[in-house]
Structure 1
Amino acid sequence: MFDAKLRPYIDPPLNAAGRILSRMGFSANGVTLLGLGFGLLTAYFVSNQSYGWALAFIALSRIFDGLDGAVARATQKTAFGGYLDIVCDFIFYVSIPLAFGLADPANLLAALVLVAAFTITGISFLAFAVTAAEQGAQTRAHGEKSFFYSTGIAEGAETIGFFLIICLFPAHFITLAYIFAVLCGITVLQRSLLAWKSFKT
């Protein structure tokens, strides 16, 4: 929901930093993997209930997630880079609720529901992107991307905001997880309706 609105503000500093990293010899794929590494460290700290560290590494992982595209734009964009980026994103997304399930057995059911919600939302996102590519649809609302980014109420910015909130208020994880799972369901319905309107012919 907020991703496209934030792009004009975050792209200029990211692009400047991407040019610096590219001159230092960093590759876009290397930056993607660094971001994933920081994301998995976030999950590790969550599983050990070290939520302060988890907050710091969420920020690091998402900064590097933005920088990989900036480095690619400063050097060379590749189809594999786009593939690697989205795979690493979804690994990170599911690792956090799983880590909350490991941190406290009472969280397990809510964590599994949230993983399922993320999975279904991811499937709707990728299915829309594949169909949009087949139809030749294009958009730059989310910046320069390797494939079509469809919108919804629960996108990347909302998911990161949710992760920050549950790390700040871990005692309320169960309630917050169910609320966000509902938002994911609404996002799937939004994309399905948009797909029906866009692709029914």
Structure 2
Amino acid sequence: MFDAKLRPLIDPPLNRLGSALARRGVTANAITFLGLALGLAGAAAISVGYFGAGLGLILANRLLDGLDGAVARANGPTVLGGYFDIVADFAFYVSVPLGFGLVDPANTQAALVLVASFVLTGVSFLAYAVIAAERGARTDAHGRKSFFYSTGLAEGGETIAVFIAFALFPAWFVQLAYAYAALCVLTVFQRSALAIVQFSD
């Protein structure tokens, strides 16, 4: 919901840094995999109760997630890079609820519900992207991407805000997880309604 509005603020400094790294031979894929490793390490830290360390690694993951796109724009985006980026994103997204589910058995059910909502949101996102690509649709609302990014109520910015809240207030994980899972399900309905409008023959 807020991702497109944040792009004009975060893209200029990221693009400058991305251009500098690209000139030094750093690849977008290398940054993607480093970011994934840090994100998974953050989830692992959370799973053993190190919430502060987990939060720091989550933020590092998000910084690198933005930076890999900036390097890709400097070098020229590739289809394979886009594939790695989205797989790494979803691997990271599901790992954080998993970490909270492991650290406290009381969190397990809420974590499972949240992961399930992420799966549904991801499926709707990718299915929309495939059909939009087949129809030649284009959008720059989320910056230059390897494939079509549809807007939704629950996007990357909202997800990271919720992950930060999880780490800062772990005792509220269950309530926050159920609330965000509901928003993710609403996003699926929203995207499905948009698909009916856009893709009906």
Q: TM-score, normalised by structure 2?
A: 0.99
C-alpha deviation, 1:43, in angstroms: 0.3
What letter matches 1:150 in structure 2? S
Aligned counterparts of 2:161 and 2:30: Cα–Cα separation in 1: 25
Aligned counterparts of 1:123 and 1:193: Cα–Cα separation in 2: 15
Kept after mapping to 1: 8 A contact 2:77/2:145: no
Tell me if 1:179 matches 2:174.
Answer: no
Tell me if 1:65 matches 2:68.
Answer: no
Aligned counterparts of 1:28 and 1:178: Cα–Cα separation in 2: 34
What residue number does 1:151 align with? 151
What residue number does 1:3 align with? 3
What residue number does 1:43 align with? 43
C-alpha deviation, 1:76, in angstroms: 2.5
**Number of residue pairs the alignment of both structures matches:** 201
Tell me if 1:131 matches 2:131.
Answer: yes
Q: Kindly report the root-mean-square deviation, in angstroms, between the aligned alpha carbons of the 2 structures.
A: 0.6
1:15-65 CA distance string (max 9 Å, x none): 001011112221110000011011001101110111111111111000000
What residue number does 2:80 align with? 80
What letter matches 1:162 in structure 2? V
Aligned counterparts of 1:137 and 1:23: Cα–Cα separation in 2: 32
Q: Which contiguous aligned blocks of 4+ residues in structure 1 show a shift greater than 3 angstroms?
A: none
Aligned counterparts of 1:17 and 1:90: Cα–Cα separation in 2: 25
Tell me if 1:195 matches 2:195.
Answer: yes
Aligned counterparts of 2:25 and 2:44: Cα–Cα separation in 1: 29
**Structure 2 gap segments, 5+ residues each:** none
C-alpha deviation, 1:77, in angstroms: 1.4
**Structure 1 gap segments, 5+ residues each:** none
What residue number does 1:24 align with? 24
